[in-house]
Amino acid sequence: MSARTTLRAFPTLLRVGFAEAVAYRAEMLIWVLSTTMPLVNMVLWMAVSREAPVGRFGEADFISYFLATFAVRQLATSWAAWLINWEVKQGTLAMRLLRPISPLWAYAVESIAAFPMRLMVAVPVILLSVALVGQKAVPQHAWQWGFVVLAVIGGWAVAFLANVAIGALCFFLESSQKVLEVWLVLFFVCSGYMYPVELLPPTLRTIIDWLPFRYQIGVPVEMLTGAYGWEESLRLLAAQWAWVAVLGVLAAVTWKQGVRRFAAFGG
């Protein structure tokens, strides 16, 4: 499982992953359509802001915020926890373990390979946002766009690594679906997915700043809507990547400890 074999396998894995994403495009479309939550909430917040703006958010700001949320959710997402649970239960993980490359890399590459397809959904949504709201829906400066890319990748990494860590818990708990559910609930409440985190009372905001959830969706969305100046953006990115590092270690450790306990039944 040397670094060299892993690197050599990358292009092939990417190609396979991409082919899979293309093959299951109808299924992916259904997944995309099933993430309508931001739109539901967009409508609610538009109704609220019709009379007077909420904080710095007017009706147009809510439109661009939630459309950005919809787009970012397509990219910064991962279902690795679900997949790991399923493969452990089915015993098919044994097949992956036989390959000369860590399953974690395989999961990651599969997820990354779907990016081109996912961009085909995300980009039109952003363009729609520009069409509805105008130029101010997206960042004005080139450096801000650079930060958007970094923040989206960071958001994906947070989602993926947390998923791996939770998924690996199934080696100890038989099934970690319930843990995943708890994570999802906290994600919905704390990530800025249902409302901009800014609108919460200050104490709650401080707590959320210290939790990983906001860095998956909220921060990339705020970058994409050009909410911050140079310094604040840099601070948020640093916090996001710090979480990526922490979750990375956590994922690697739980996976390594867990896989030792793995005994494939019928695999």
Task: State yes or no: residue 45 binds another protein (CB under 8 A).
Answer: yes
Task: State yes or no: residue 175 binds another protein (CB under 8 A).
Answer: no
Between 45 and 147, CB nearer to another protein: 45
CA 217 – CA 21 distance, rounded (Å):
23
Task: State yes or no: residue 257 binds another protein (CB under 8 A).
Answer: no
Between 150 and 189, CB nearer to another protein: 189
Smallest gap from residue 196 Cβ to another protein (A): 9
Buried b (16+ CB within 10 A) or exposed e, 220-231: bbbbbbbbbeee
Between 87 and 101, CB nearer to another protein: 87
Task: State yes or no: residue 199 binds another protein (CB under 8 A).
Answer: yes
Candidates 132, 182, 238, 249; binder of another protein (CB under 8 A) is 182
Task: State yes or no: residue 41 binds another protein (CB under 8 A).
Answer: yes
Q: Taking Cα atoms as reference points, which of 147, 161, 151, 150 lies closest to residue 220?
A: 151
Task: State yes or no: residue 211 binds another protein (CB under 8 A).
Answer: no
Smallest gap from residue 211 Cβ to another protein (A): 15
Task: State yes or no: residue 26 binds another protein (CB under 8 A).
Answer: yes
Cα 44 to Cα 58, 63, 175, 188, 189: the distances in Å are 13, 11, 36, 16, 16
Candidates 4, 135, 142, 201; binder of another protein (CB under 8 A) is 201
CB 143 within 8 A of CB 45: no
Task: State yes or no: residue 131 binds another protein (CB under 8 A).
Answer: no
Between 8 and 25, CB nearer to another protein: 25
Q: Per-residue contact track with another protein, 48 to 87, x per CB under 8 A?
A: x-xx--x---------------------------------
Smallest gap from residue 39 Cβ to another protein (A): 8
Task: State yes or no: residue 172 binds another protein (CB under 8 A).
Answer: no
Q: Taking Cα atoms as reference points, which of 22, 137, 24, 136 lies closest to residue 71?
A: 137
Question: Which of these ranges, 11-19, 25-33, 81-89, 214-222, lies near another protein under the rule CB under 8 A?
Answer: 25-33
Is the four-CA dihedral 81, 152, 126, 43 of positive or negative sign?
Answer: positive
| Tokens, residue 23 | 């093959």
The answer for residues whose C-beta is within 8 angstroms of residue 68's C-beta and 6 or more apart is 126, 129, 137, 221, 224, 225
Which residue blocks in the chain are alpha helix, DSSP H?
3-23, 25-33, 37-49, 59-75, 80-90, 93-98, 103-113, 115-133, 142-168, 170-173, 177-190, 202-210, 213-216, 218-224, 230-260
Task: State yes or no: residue 243 binds another protein (CB under 8 A).
Answer: no
Is the four-CA dihedral 19, 20, 26, 28 of positive or negative sign?
Answer: negative
Interface residues with another protein (CB under 8 A) are: 24, 26-27, 30-31, 33-37, 40-41, 43-48, 50-51, 54, 178, 181-182, 185, 188-189, 194-195, 199-201
